[in-house]
Chains A and B, each alone.
Chain A
Amino acid sequence: MKKIYIVFGIAVFVMAFSMCHKAADFPDSGYDERMSGGEATVLDESSKAFTIPVSGMSARDERVHDIGDQTFDQTFVAPPSPIFTGLGPVYNNISCVNCHRNDGEGIPTAGFSNSGLLFRISQPGSDANGGPLRVPGYGGQIQDQAVLGTKPEANINITYTDVQVTYPDGTVVTLRKPDYTLQNMYLPITGSYMLSPRLAPPMVGLGLLENIPEQTILSFVDAGDANGDGITGKANYVYDVYTKKKEIGKFGLKANTPTLLTQIATAYQQDMGVTSYVQPVESALGQTQMNGVVGDVQPELVDSLLNYVLFYIKTLAVPARRDVTDGDVKTGQLIFNQINCSGCHRPSMRTGIDVTLHQISNQRIQPFTDLLLHDMGEGLADNRPDYLATGTEWRTQPLWGIGLLQKTTGTAYYLHDGRARTLEEAILWHDGEAKKSKQQFMQLSSGERAKLLKFLGSL
């Protein structure tokens, strides 16, 4: 009898411990490196590479995706109109796709029909939820276009100054440092204000990023810099206007938006002046130019259309990597890891479970981001805090698809405001927590630098 207890006891002991051992991912060598989005990957390298749906959707889901696609491309017009109404009174552009060209990034100009750069504005201090303090008469964003009869809030004057950087090997690269000022303001601002430029980012793998569990992101934080690599990382916690809760921020260039739904609805509201059930209040409400527009009218964007646009964006596939077996690309990848670019641009992770959409559920993905905020130094600073993000901190930009921007945009631009015209310029702007890696990059031979850039081009 006693023997049975002992055997049973040992069995329980062994089982308990073996259950504690959670099955880990297979080693990286077990995966096809091209499949950046796991199951949600598409083998396409054309100018339309960002616009292709994930495969394996039902006919009903495909239809929803298609309507979302059409709505994303749709030009909106000033109210009243029987169709696609609600543009303005002040706005930045008239459709999603005018900024997110080919579902990719924007062009860093402001005020033209093809412009994709917008400016957030706030005053020192913070609002009741810990967010940026809105500027009376302007809100949190400059709308530099307006429907006829209304003045744009302001125009943006953009100038660049050349800055030269010299490598230890004598090579000189010219960077352009931007300067942004407001002109033709419709109303003077009392007191000081802060501007932050934001270039429309590419729409790559957003459903997958939303599906990364919070604890995965937090596991990347190294608050005390225990490993001594100079990289700490910080999660942003932000107020969601829809759920009315504080949540971890994943989207926006300073990780100031927690969900795709809020991100999309806020873009409709702030960038186009189109209200919805998530953002029911006109961006210009309360402004002197809003004569006759009342607060609680019916949302301009039909609820279903907003949901369909959300579904469209979640079901866009990630373009596969190219040239993964090329010797130079492989060397470039080793260098990328050696000089610790991968400290923030995390190569791989796994998404959480989403029973409604198997293509983005439990996928091993290669986004090359940790979705955390990092100090990027004075050169890139916007000096405008956004919830927990300080004036020098930015969210690590995912690098998947970056090698295709040249094709999708026509001319590629990099960094949060598109100041960098090449990937090399973008690297040279890195500072702060990335200073060590940048310096090591500059120490490389020109051949090694080319290989690293070739690797980035394969993403």
Chain B
Amino acid sequence: MKNTAVVLALGIAITITSCHKATQNPGTTESFATLEQTVMTDFANNTALPQYANLVSAAVQLNSTVTTLNSTTTDANLQAAQAAWKATRVTWEQCEGFLIGPVESNDYDPNTDTWPTDKTQLDSLLASSNPLQASDIAALPQSLRGYHPLEYVLFGVGGSRLAASLTAREKRYMVSLSADMLNNNIQPLYQSWTSAPTNYAQQVTTAGNGSTAYAKKLDFFLDITGDNGMAGICGEVGSEKMYEPFINKDSTITESPYSDNTLLDFKNNIIGAQNVYLGLNGGKGVKDLVASQNKSLDNKIQAQFTASISAFNNITVRYEQAIFTQRVQVQQLMDQLAALKDILENDLTDFLKQYVKD
């Protein structure tokens, strides 16, 4: 009888204690909220702003080499301008890892990076009496502004450009294209993150705490993860920009055909997404949020970023050629990118929805 009572008491005790479900996540909730704020602040100050500042520097450099090429038209100066164009592309494509805020809502992206170039109108523009000042460029359709028309002038079809072949009108156009990019788009983009009226860095750092762009912190994290952010760029590269030329076996619909920069553009897009995840310049990134609660998910995401970026190295010829001669490698790369997009879109998004509660 006594035994029964003991067993009963034990049973009750076990039942009651097992009713107490552990509610605490590893690490206290308070420190997680602090970490969220740190990731937001570091994203703005260490990842986004420095990259936009680099973009301004690169565009200033591009503008100066183009100006030099205009005054002293030598092959050496042409090569300097081409190198500066490619350097600007590296920074810009990496900034596309987070297409949030003014870059889209103020049209800085379509104003500088619309594809394809309107070759027919470009020819008639050069043949016309349009004064081709920077202000005239700003009034043209987006398919005659930005990186790709400048790429066409600097590199020529098949990268065949020689300094001697640049006409006076082409030089005028190139100088104004570069000035339009710098003064009307890239500088304003940076300013829209640093100063009123938009001050988007502040919108980010005050997410969930007075920000008009993000009522909740979760809104911000979903924005840099979803269609405007990491998953979006993986999808755009993997299932659109790589897939369409590949499946159609059509090398006329690739991104930067004149400069041979297509594959590098793609790779820098994915590096840009990785920068958002890891954080730059010693700042914390989304990875710190994930690792604090779910280290295996963090490992999975980091491994997939690494696998995707290194899969680019398996393609050893220009992308316009690889879609014919290295189809296996291209397919493998697209598979990696699809897997990466899937993890970001599903696993990471679910994680954020589960843990970011403010």
Contacts and interface: CB of A to CB of B under 8 A. Distances in A.
Contacts of B116: 75, 77, 81, 83-84
Contacts of A79: 120
B128 A148 contact: yes
Interface residues of B, number: 31
By size class, the interface of chain A is 20 to 34
Contacts of A87: 118
A46 interface: yes
B111 interface: yes
A14 B124 CA distance: 79
Contacts of A75: 114-116, 142-143
B43 to A, nearest CB: 17
Contact of B118 (A45, A48, A81): A81
A94 B252 contact: no
A410 B244 CA distance: 30
Contacts of B107: 113-114
Contacts of B226: 46, 48
Contacts of A47: 223, 228
Interface in A72-106: 75, 77-84, 87, 94, 98
Contacts of B111: 113
B183 interface: no
Contact of A70 (B106, B128, B227, B244): B244
A147 B143 CA distance: 11
Nearest to B102: A410
A46 B240 CA distance: 22
Interface in B151-181: none
Nearest to A93: B141
A267 B88 CA distance: 36
Interface in A130-146: 145
Contacts of B128: 148-149
Nearest to B235: A66
Nearest to A102: B104
Interface string A31-46: 0000000000000011
A145 B240 contact: no
Contacts of B119: 77, 81
A78 B118 contact: yes
A236 interface: no
Nearest to A49: B227
Nearest to B115: A75
A276 interface: no
A312 B252 CA distance: 25
Contacts of A66: 239-240
B125 interface: yes
A206 B222 CA distance: 27
A81 B120 contact: yes
Interface string B221-265: 011001110000000000110001000000011000000000000
B347 to A, nearest CB: 18
Per DSSP, chain B at the interface is helix
Contacts of A149: 124, 128
A82 B252 contact: yes
A48 B114 contact: no
A51 interface: yes
A112 to B, nearest CB: 9
A46 B141 contact: no
A151 B339 CA distance: 49
A3 to B, nearest CB: 66
A255 B240 CA distance: 35
B222 A113 contact: no
B105 interface: yes
Nearest to B244: A70
Interface string A99-125: 000000000000001100000000000
Interface in A18-75: 45-48, 51, 66, 70, 75
B219 to A, nearest CB: 7
A30 B226 CA distance: 33
B118 A46 contact: no
B115 to A, nearest CB: 7
A83 B219 contact: no
Contacts of B11: none
Contacts of B131: none
Given A77-B116, A113-B107, A113-B110, A94 B142 contact: yes
B105 to A, nearest CB: 4
Interface in B91-106: 105-106
Contacts of B118: 77-78, 81, 87
Interface in B130-156: 130, 141-143
B130 A98 contact: no
A244 to B, nearest CB: 34
A159 to B, nearest CB: 21
Contacts of A80: 120
A269 to B, nearest CB: 18
Given A148-B125, A410-B105, A70 B240 contact: yes
Given A113-B107, A113-B111, A46 B121 contact: no
B227 A148 contact: no
- Which of A47, A79, A114 has the most chain B CB atoms closer than 10 A to its own CB? A47
Nearest to B124: A148
B248 to A, nearest CB: 10
Contacts of B141: 94, 113, 145
Given A82-B252, A83-B252, A148-B125, A94 B143 contact: yes
B105 A78 contact: no
Contacts of A114: 107
Interface in B48-83: none
B253 A147 contact: no
A147 B144 CA distance: 11
Contacts of A410: 105-106
Nearest to A148: B124
Nearest to A113: B142
A80 B120 CA distance: 7
A58 to B, nearest CB: 16
Going nearest first, the 7 A-B pairs with the smallest beta carbon separation are A410-B105, A77-B118, A48-B227, A78-B120, A148-B124, A78-B121, A148-B121
Interface of A: 45-48, 51, 66, 70, 75, 77-84, 87, 94, 98, 113-114, 145, 147-149, 410
13 contacts: A48-B226, A75-B115, A77-B116, A77-B121, A81-B116, A81-B120, A82-B252, A87-B118, A113-B107, A113-B110, A113-B141, A147-B121, A410-B105
Given A75-B114, A94-B142, 14 more contacts: A46-B226, A81-B119, A81-B120, A98-B110, A98-B142, A113-B107, A113-B110, A114-B107, A147-B121, A147-B124, A148-B125, A148-B128, A148-B130, A410-B106
